[in-house]
Amino acid sequence: MWKQKPKAMTLKNVLLINGISSGITGCLLVAMPAFFANLFAVSNTTPFSEVGIFLVLFALFVLIAAFRNPVQKSWARLITGLDITWVIASVVLVAIVFSSISVIGSVLIVGVAAWVGLMAFLQGKTLRNA
């Protein structure tokens, strides 16, 4: 009669969310670098394409890690470390380029960093419980 409630926040689920969101972001950057360059009020589209390619490759790695059975904790720790590095690099980047990009660009960088930080936090939390 009593059904056990499924545990929604597992390491696998957090990695899946990270991989999917990274992949979507990467695909958007690769597909529309001029749109993002315009949004950031810069003329060079190359950084957007390059970051997009990196994110697609990162997403593939994260999704492979998520689908391993069991999830390899060492892979999850590496992904978490890369996420933390992304957050730190984003804060440094905004500090360096703030005056040369749009406010919207700065807000987007900080917003993505916040999301990535949340992924790192949840991965760390679920790693401890795994």
| pLDDT tens per residue, range 92-106 | 999 999 999 999 999
pLDDT score at 106: 98
Q: Rounded to the nearest 10 degrees, how much is the dihedral formed by the CA atoms of 56, 40, 116, 29?
A: -10
Task: Give residue 8's pLDDT.
Answer: 77
CA atoms of 125 and 15, how far apart (whole Å)? 12
What pLDDT digit, counting tens, does each position of 64-79 carry? 999 999 999 999 999 9
**Average of pLDDT values for 15-30?**
98
Q: Please check the confidence at residue 7 and state whether its pLDDT lies above 70.
A: no
Q: Is 126 exposed, middle or buried (0-12, 13-18, 19+ CB in 10 A)?
A: buried
Structure confidence at residue 129 (pLDDT): 87
- Mean pLDDT over residues 24-43, rounded? 98
Instruction: Identify whether the C-beta of residue 129 lies closer than 8 Å to the C-beta of residue 64.
Output: no
